[in-house]
């Protein structure tokens, strides 16, 4: 029983990070029909930007701020202007293929400029345990969950409770009408790219102390988040959150109770089942686009 | 006619002289790029250092040593092609590769050519296939794992053990030997966990270890995965003592795992921290030449060249065909050949017997706690 509790906590902590990345997936899809296959590499890169800042002499807190800002410039602004905008007019598929090429480019660049070997990365949460219901739970797991939940709450508040959020939703649901009523659609789309860059940088900060900073670490994350987004519902932020948590827990339970060799297969089988029986995802709505 | 004869005589003389002064050619194939770049670069630098020293003292039997380095890119397919190319140039002895997988696919080529291969691989099966030309520079798992099992049983007094291993040739080989030995000694394996190479998330594996509540945990993974599991063990508060091999307590693992590596123990065949004067001197020479502290692969490359020197001097001639026969069963004493660093004996299968070390990580540093003697 204590085993199950440990597995659930660890699964939720990893799942919360998947959720952050999956939310970014759905946001980009909603506003610009971009399926970003480089999303995993987007999570890997900010950690290296922060490490570079620290090598240059910046303290950790400053490196975090610089890393997030640089990520928003590179993975938000530059990604949209230099890759998405020019490729968009050729359709969804060429754009998706371009993001695959970008993934390879980012990976190779990091390997070239840093190294093929893993590097350590400091944790923002101190090590140690606290007791919950008689179980020792690590502060790191709690910290990761707390930061991820706060980020998701902040995002949903922004989308549902503010004028800016309503404008973003309008731009996503019907860009033509939104333009007519005066919503700056282009700016709203850019904003979602910046939010995605912020979320992946945050995910990078939370996951890298556990996975280590390595050029290839985005592969697993990108795949897990992609599955999470589809399972939860590609057109719903809350679907992506639920999908992320579900995949995190499922992955851990599969590793413990099925086998480590087949742990990667279990979420895939689940994905196939969802596509067969509920193609819009667990919380998604059929043929509809909302943020 | 006279001038033709004279030219012929001159040519014969010139050829004879050049053969006499010709350098002894060694070929090295190592992991100079790709995932094993740290392994291969250390190995190569160790070789270069040894050759420089030997040549400065007049070479082997009056002949200089020369080496060509080729890059296997840490890929067995490329390693095979590079070894074939190296063998075509008819080297005296082949050095490398370092990865067991690459050794496995290249060893038949060297054996077919009748050239001795001195390599860095540690998988148990390498020297069990009846290859008469393959030699190790470090312990194979069949030599190191019994020492590990004995330490877990006798010194750690563990009645129950969790064994975590990586699911590849290296991990499976080590796991099979250690589980058999633990069973023979009477320590019970309460969790036998296979993990995948490159695995990032060890939460589930550690939760299983925690549930099994063993007296000791034996960890046998590659360096990066070792660091990840050490962090996860600390995160989930597992307090059972940890035992492993070189891959659990290496410098890279300590750097990656930070605090979490403290307290981990490992059996190490070769370490530059060993309390042996000749090894200390090696470490100093190496650090001075390359500006960094070598790992055990630097030692292995260095030893490989001195194995060539000692064996050749034992034969009294440079004979590639007799080299392997001479090295089988040979004991090289550090008192006679300081470059060999520690007394070593080679078995008929190319395995080695040598003293080894029990190392513990204390405040981020490897500390040698015990010197384990030669088996025979």
List CB contacts (< 8 A) between B38 and chain A: 117
pLDDT at B15: 47
pLDDT above 90 for A280: no
pLDDT at A256: 86
B236/A127 Cβ within 8 A: no
pLDDT above 50 for A76: yes
pLDDT at B362: 95
Cβ of B198 under 8 Å from any chain A Cβ?
A: yes
pLDDT above 80 for A39: yes
Give the pair of three-digit tokens for residue A45: 């890169």
- Candidates B37, B195, B256; nearest CB to A212: B256
Under 8 Å between Cβ of A43 and A196: no
List CB contacts (< 8 A) between A251 and chain B: 201, 204
Closest residue by Cα to residue B354 from B95, B174, B138, B151:
B138
List CB contacts (< 8 A) between A40 and chain B: none
Q: Which chain B residue has its CA at the smallest distance from A10's CA?
A: B203
d(CA A218, CA A204): 10
What is this structure's pTM? 0.79
pLDDT above 50 for B210: yes
Rounded mean pLDDT, B286-305: 94
Cβ of A214 under 8 Å from any chain B Cβ?
A: yes
Cβ of A132 under 8 Å from any chain B Cβ?
A: no
Closest CA of chain A from B199, distance in Å? 9
- What contacts A219, CB < 8 A, 6 or more positions away? A40
pLDDT above 60 for B312: yes
Rounded mean pLDDT, B24-50: 92
B200/A220 Cβ within 8 A: yes
Closest CA of chain A from B45, distance in Å? 19
pLDDT at A42: 97
Cβ of B194 under 8 Å from any chain A Cβ?
A: yes
Angle between helices A237-257 and A139-161 (to 10 degrees): 160
Q: Which chain A residue has its CA at the smallest distance from B164's CA?
A: A260
Rounded mean pLDDT, B358-364: 94
pLDDT above 60 for B6: no
Rounded mean pLDDT, A105-134: 86
A116/B205 Cβ within 8 A: no
Mapping DSSP to helix (H, G, I), strand (E, B) and coil, where does residue B188 land? strand
pLDDT above 80 for A103: yes
List CB contacts (< 8 A) between B231 and chain A: 209-210
Length of chain B: 376
pLDDT above 80 for A281: yes
Give the pair of three-digit tokens for residue A4: 């199950």
A216/B194 Cβ within 8 A: no
Model confidence pLDDT, tens digit, residues A162-198: 999 999 989 888 889 999 999 999 999 999 999 999 9
d(CA B323, CA A31): 71
Model confidence pLDDT, tens digit, residues B85-98: 999 999 999 999 99
B35/A118 Cβ within 8 A: no
- What contacts A281, CB < 8 A, 6 or more positions away? A230, A231, A232, A233, A234, A235, A236, A239, A243, A274
When pLDDT is cut at 50, 70 and 90, the band that residue B33 belongs to is confident
Extended strands (E) in B123-202: 134-136, 160-166, 188-195
Q: Phi/psi zone of residue B65: left (φ > 0), alpha (ψ -120 to 50 degrees), beta?
A: beta
List CB contacts (< 8 A) between A217 and chain B: 200
Rounded mean pLDDT, B214-218: 97
Cβ of A136 under 8 Å from any chain B Cβ?
A: yes
When pLDDT is cut at 50, 70 and 90, the band that residue B4 belongs to is low
DSSP string, chain A: -HHHHHHHHHHHHHHHHHHHHHHHHHHHHHHH----TTHHHHHHHHHHHHHHHHHTT--HHHHHHHHHHHHIIIIIIIIIIIIIHHHHTT-HHHHHHHHHHHHHHHHHHHHHHT-SS-B----SS---EEEETTEEEEHHHHHHHHHHHHHHHHHHHHHHHSHHHHHHHHHHH-HHHHHHTT--HHHHHHHHHHHHHHHHHHHHHHHHHHH-B-TTTHHHHHHHHHHHHHHH-TT-HHHHHHHHHHHHHHHHHHHHHT-STTTTHHHHHHHHHHHHH-TT-SS--TT----
d(CA B246, CA B260): 16
Closest CA of chain A from B205, distance in Å? 7
Q: What is the DSSP letter of B36?
A: T
Q: Phi/psi zone of residue B252: left (φ > 0), alpha (ψ -120 to 50 degrees), beta?
A: alpha
Q: How many CA atoms lie within 13 A of B133 on its CB side?
A: 22
Closest residue by Cα to residue A54 from A62, A46, A43:
A62
DSSP string, B195-247: E-TT----HHHHHHHHHH--SEEEEE--HHHHHHHHHHHHHTT--S-EEE-HH
When pLDDT is cut at 50, 70 and 90, the band that residue A140 belongs to is confident
Name the burial class of residue A271, with classes exposed (0-12), middle (13-18) and buried (19+) by CB atoms within 10 angstroms of its CB: middle
Peptide bond into B267 cis (omega under 30): no
Rounded mean pLDDT, B271-279: 91
Q: Phi/psi zone of residue B342: left (φ > 0), alpha (ψ -120 to 50 degrees), beta?
A: beta
A6/B207 Cβ within 8 A: yes
pLDDT at B96: 94
When pLDDT is cut at 50, 70 and 90, the band that residue A152 belongs to is confident
A217/B210 Cβ within 8 A: no
pLDDT at B8: 55
pLDDT at B5: 53
Cβ of B226 under 8 Å from any chain A Cβ?
A: no
List CB contacts (< 8 A) between A6 and chain B: 203, 207, 210-211, 236
Model confidence pLDDT, tens digit, residues A216-229: 889 989 999 999 99
A217/B194 Cβ within 8 A: no
d(CA B99, CA B105): 10
d(CA A218, CA A196): 15
Mean pLDDT across chain B: 91
Candidates A40, A112, A118, partner chain B, best to mutate (most B CBs within 10 A): A118
When pLDDT is cut at 50, 70 and 90, the band that residue B22 belongs to is confident
pLDDT at B134: 97
Which position has the higher pLDDT, B1 or A179?
Answer: A179
B200/A210 Cβ within 8 A: yes
Rounded mean pLDDT, A39-44: 96
Q: What number of other Cβ atoms are within 10 A of residue B320's Cβ?
A: 18
Model confidence pLDDT, tens digit, residues B182-195: 999 999 999 999 99
pLDDT at B98: 93
pLDDT at B21: 61
Sign of CA dihedral B296, B130, B374, B124: positive
Lowest mean pLDDT among A137-141, B241-245, B320-324: A137-141
Sign of CA dihedral A51, A53, A58, A60: negative
pLDDT at B17: 45
Rounded mean pLDDT, B337-355: 94
Cβ of B12 under 8 Å from any chain A Cβ?
A: no
pLDDT above 80 for B361: yes
When pLDDT is cut at 50, 70 and 90, the band that residue B16 belongs to is very low
pLDDT above 90 for B263: yes
- Tell me what percent of the residues of chain A surpass a pLDDT of 90: 57
Closest residue by Cα to residue A259 from B194, B371, B336:
B194
Closest residue by Cα to residue B321 from B306, B329, B311:
B311
Strand order in the sheet with B65-71: B65-71, B24-30, B93-95, B117-119, B134-136
pLDDT at B110: 96
A253/B204 Cβ within 8 A: yes
List CB contacts (< 8 A) between B234 and chain A: 127
A260/B199 Cβ within 8 A: yes
d(CA B178, CA B196): 19
Cβ of A220 under 8 Å from any chain B Cβ?
A: yes
Model confidence pLDDT, tens digit, residues A241-258: 999 999 999 998 998 888
pLDDT at A247: 94
Closest CA of chain A from B69, distance in Å? 21
When pLDDT is cut at 50, 70 and 90, the band that residue B123 belongs to is confident
pLDDT at B78: 96
């Amino acid at each position: 029983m204590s085993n199950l509790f440990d597995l659930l906590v660890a699964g939720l902590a990893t799942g919360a990070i998947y959720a952050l990345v999956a939310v970014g997936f759905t946001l980009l899809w909603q506003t610009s029909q971009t399926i970003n296959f480089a999303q995993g590499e987007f999570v890997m890169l900010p950690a290296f930007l922060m490490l570079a800042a620290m090598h240059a002499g910046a303290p950790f807190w400053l490196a975090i701020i610089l890393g997030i800002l640089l990520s928003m410039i590179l993975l938000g602004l530059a990604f949209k202007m230099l890759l998405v905008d020019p490729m968009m007019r050729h359709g969804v598929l060429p754009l998706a293929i371009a993001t695959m090429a970008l993934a390879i480019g980012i990976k190779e660049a990091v390997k070239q400029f840093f190294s093929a070997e893993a590097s350590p990365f400091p944790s923002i949460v101190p090590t140690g345990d606290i007791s919950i219901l008689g179980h020792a739970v690590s502060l790191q797991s709690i910290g990761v969950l707390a930061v991820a939940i706060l980020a998701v709450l902040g995002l949903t508040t922004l989308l549902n409770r503010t004028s800016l959020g309503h404008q973003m939703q309008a731009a996503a649901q019907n860009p033509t009408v939104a333009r007519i009523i005066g919503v700056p659609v282009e700016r709203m789309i850019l904003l979602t790219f910046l939010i995605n860059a912020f979320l992946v940088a945050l995910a990078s900060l939370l996951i890298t102390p556990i996975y280590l900073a390595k050029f290839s670490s985005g592969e697993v994350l990108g795949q897990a988040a992609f599955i999470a987004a589809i399972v939860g519902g590609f057109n719903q932020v809350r679907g992506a959150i639920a999908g992320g948590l579900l995949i995190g827990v499922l992955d851990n339970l599969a590793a413990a109770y099925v086998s480590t060799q087949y742990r990667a297969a279990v979420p895939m089988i689940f994905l196939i089942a969802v596509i067969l029986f509920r193609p819009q995802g667990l919380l998604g709505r059929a043929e509809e686009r909302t943020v | 006619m006279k001038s033709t004869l004279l030219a012929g005589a001159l040519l014969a003389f010139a050829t004879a002289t050049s053969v006499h002064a010709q350098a002894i050619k060694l070929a090295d194939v190592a992991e100079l790029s790709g995932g094993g770049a740290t392994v291969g670069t250390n190995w190569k630098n160790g070789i270069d250092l040894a050759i420089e020293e030997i040549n400065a003292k007049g070479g082997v039997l009056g002949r200089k040593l020369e080496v060509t380095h080729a890059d296997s890119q840490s890929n067995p397919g490329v390693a095979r092609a590079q070894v074939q190319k190296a063998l075509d140039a008819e080297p005296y002895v082949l050095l490398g590769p370092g990865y067991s997988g690459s050794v496995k696919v290249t060893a038949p080529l060297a054996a077919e050519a009748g050239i001795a291969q001195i390599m860095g691989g540690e998988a148990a099966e390498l020297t069990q296939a009846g290859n008469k030309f393959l030699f190790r520079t470090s312990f194979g798992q069949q030599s190191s794992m019994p020492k590990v099992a004995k330490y877990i049983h006798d010194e750690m007094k563990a009645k129950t053990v969790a064994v975590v291993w990586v699911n590849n040739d290296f991990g499976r080989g080590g796991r099979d030997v250690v589980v058999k030995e633990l069973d023979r000694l009477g320590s019970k394996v309460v969790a036998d966990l296979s993990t995948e190479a490159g695995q990032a998330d060890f939460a589930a594996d550690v939760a299983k270890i925690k549930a099994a509540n063993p007296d000791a945990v034996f960890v046998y993974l590659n360096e990066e995965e070792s660091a990840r599991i050490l962090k996860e063990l600390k995160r989930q508060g597992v307090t059972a003592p940890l035992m492993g091999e070189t891959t659990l307590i290496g410098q890279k693992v300590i750097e990656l795992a930070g605090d979490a590596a403290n307290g981990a123990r490992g059996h190490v065949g070769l370490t530059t921290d060993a309390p042996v004067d000749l090894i200390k001197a090696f470490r100093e020479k190496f650090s001075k030449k390359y500006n960094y502290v070598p790992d055990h692969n630097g030692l292995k490359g260095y030893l490989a060249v001195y194995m060539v020197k000692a064996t050749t001097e034992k034969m009294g001639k440079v004979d590639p065909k007799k080299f392997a026969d001479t090295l089988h069963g040979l004991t090289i004493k550090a008192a006679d050949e300081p470059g060999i660093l520690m007394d070593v004996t080679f078995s008929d299968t190319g395995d080695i017997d040598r003293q080894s070390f029990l190392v513990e990580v204390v405040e981020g540093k490897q500390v040698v706690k015990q010197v384990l003697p030669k088996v025979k």
